[in-house]
Amino acid sequence: MNHNLGDHVSEESFLPDILSIINDRQQVTYNELSDIAFSRNIPKDVLDSSLSSLENSKMIASRSSGGILTYYTLQQDTISKVLIVEDDKSINKLMALSIGKGFEVMQLYDGGDAMKVIRSYKPQLVILDLMLPHKDGLDICQTIKEDPETSGTIVILVSAMDPTSNRFKGIKYGADYYIKKPFDPNELKSLVTIFLKKKGKRFDPLIDLPNEERISNAVSKSIDSGEDYSIGALRIENLGSYAKRFGEKSAMVIIRLVSQLLQDAIKNKAAGVFAGFMNTEDFIVAGRRNEVASAVENVKQEFSAVMPFILQDEGYKSIDLDIDSLFDSNEVPKLSLVYSEIEKSEIKKRIDELNKDKKAAPSGEFGSYTYEELQRLFGREDFDIKITRDGDSVRLHVGKRGNE
């Protein structure tokens, strides 16, 4: 429905239109909504107030991921059970208040009782502190995910402990997300809401990073912006060899770890940076050059700090050994993060080549491309691994170079 600028506009008259746009896509970014609203003569202030009203009425929910604000359509009339396991009564209460109405919430203060309650109460989502009396959160998480009766339960770990090793262990044991204390109540609320009420496929923080269409838009923005705006690829080197040595499940843990490190770096220290996932061992990072450099360096440092624990978890006494010597033994693939900025002149050259092959967009213009075409654009056709999604299952496969 198009509206004339001369018409009297009110939030109520646009709400069905805006909700219909989000419903059609099930999830859509704020920038995409803004473009559609502009084409339909919906004023920006009306769009913003309408989105706020729809969130307040729990018709939609929003989350910032990879530097992109995304809105999700929510299922209605579904009451899910949430179990909070946190021994600090004040924090436990804050968590319950943060989640808000629309959920059936049970609060527990002792880890020793957790599995008994989970099996009887059957919550759809569990919020776990790590340091609990009688049984810690990591043990509970591992038990939840290994038991066929409870393995589908969503687990969010929340902890004030040093996340260097605990985040890795949590992901390895199957945690769906890890939040550091002091936590943002709004982040916890949005995560719980989207995990439990999002329409369509189950929410996955890794796969939910900006997709190929939004990566394409980031490439276009990098070309149109000044020299201070850069775009490049952050690659997990030797991930294919690591997958062959330790298994595809272990390699997936590494991808999820880097994904959350990158999301946290953007959220906490470089809010203007964009990050997308290429369904390989590559993440695309774009933004002002100094902010990109800061985010990438932060992720590299944290990844280096956690590497000894990763190797130790695979059975190596890496804490007592020189890591470089261990890697040089050729027994262990040397995992590292490598960032490569892509020159804009090279991007434009490859865009022209892609457009010539596609026979679609005019020379010099950039449209929306598939992951395979984006891999070619970034010179990443020799990928080691490939991620596929079948329903709610995410799988890693050793790819081209890894099969040689």
3 state SS of 79: coil
- The DSSP string of 96-162 is HHHH-SSEEEEEE--GGGHHHHHHHH--SEEEEESS-SSS-HHHHHHHHHHSTTTTTSEEEEEESS-
The pLDDT confidence band at residue 391, using thresholds 50, 70 and 90, is: low
Q: 196: which 2 tokens?
A: 């439990």
Closest CA to 267 of 221, 299, 300: 299
- Report whether pLDDT(149) > 60: yes
How far is the C-alpha of 84 from the C-alpha of 110, rounded, in Å?
10
Max avg pLDDT among 114-128, 179-193, 370-384: 114-128
Mean pLDDT of 285-310: 92
Give residue 371's pLDDT: 85
Tell me: pLDDT of 10 over 50.
Answer: yes
Q: Report, as an integer, the average pLDDT of 96-116.
A: 94
pLDDT at 242: 92
CATH of 212-403, one of 3.30.70, 3.30.43, 3.30.750, 1.10.3470: 3.30.70
Residue 250's pLDDT is: 92
Residue 210 has pLDDT above 90, yes or no: no
Model pLDDT, residue 362: 46
Whole-number pLDDT of residue 267: 81
Say whether pTM exceeds 0.95. no
Select from 270, 259, 218, 238 the least CA-distant residue to 338.
Answer: 238
What's the pLDDT band for 361 if we cut at 50, 70, 90? very low
According to DSSP, the residues that pair with 69 across neighbouring strands are 64
Q: What one-letter code names the amino acid at 210? A: P
Q: Mean pLDDT across the stretch 73-84?
A: 89
pLDDT in tens, 304-356: 999 888 888 887 765 445 555 555 556 778 899 999 998 888 888 888 888 77
- Asked whether the CA dihedral 272, 273, 274, 279 is positive or negative, the reply is negative
Phi, psi (degrees; rounded to nearest 5) at 42: -95, 120
| Residues shown for the chain | 404
Tell me how far the alpha carbon of residue 62 is from its chain's centroid. Answer: 13
Tokens, residue 95: 């968590």
Q: How far is CA 289 from CA 90, 94, 211, 226, in A?
A: 42, 38, 22, 10
d(CA 156, CA 141): 9
pLDDT confidence of residue 337:
96
Confidence label for 5 from pLDDT (cuts 50, 70 and 90): very low
Average pLDDT value for residue range 204-208 = 78
pLDDT at 364 over 70: no
Strands 125-129 and 80-85: parallel
Q: Please list the alpha-helical segments (H only) found in 273-343.
A: 289-313, 323-328
Which class is 80-197 in CATH?
alpha beta
Q: Where is pLDDT greater, at 389 or 28? A: 28
pLDDT, tens digit, for every residue of 11-56? 577 788 888 888 887 788 888 899 888 888 888 888 999 999 999 8
Pick the more confident residue, 165 or 303: 303
Domain ranges (residues) in the chain: 11-73, 80-197, 212-403
Helix (H, G, I), strand (E, B) or coil at 82: strand
Cα(184)–Cα(267) distance, rounded to whole angstroms?
A: 11
pLDDT confidence of residue 365: 47
The per-residue pLDDT for 404 is 41
Cβ contact 156:179 at 8 Å = yes
The CB-side HSE value for 143 (13 A sphere, CA atoms) comes to 17
Instruction: Measure the CA–CA gap between 281 and 263, rounded to whole angstroms.
Output: 16
Average pLDDT over residues 185-199: 93
Where residue 1 falls among pLDDT bands split at 50, 70, 90? very low
Name the amino acid, one letter, at 10. S
Sequence-ordered alpha helix ranges (H) in 225-288: 239-246, 248-269
Greater model confidence, 208 or 72: 72
Strands 103-108 and 385-390: unpaired
Rounded mean pLDDT of the chain? Answer: 85
Q: Residues 42, 17: contact at Cβ < 8 Å?
A: yes
Give the domain 11-73 fold.
Arc Repressor Mutant, subunit A (1.10.10)
CA–centroid distance for 222 within its chain: 22
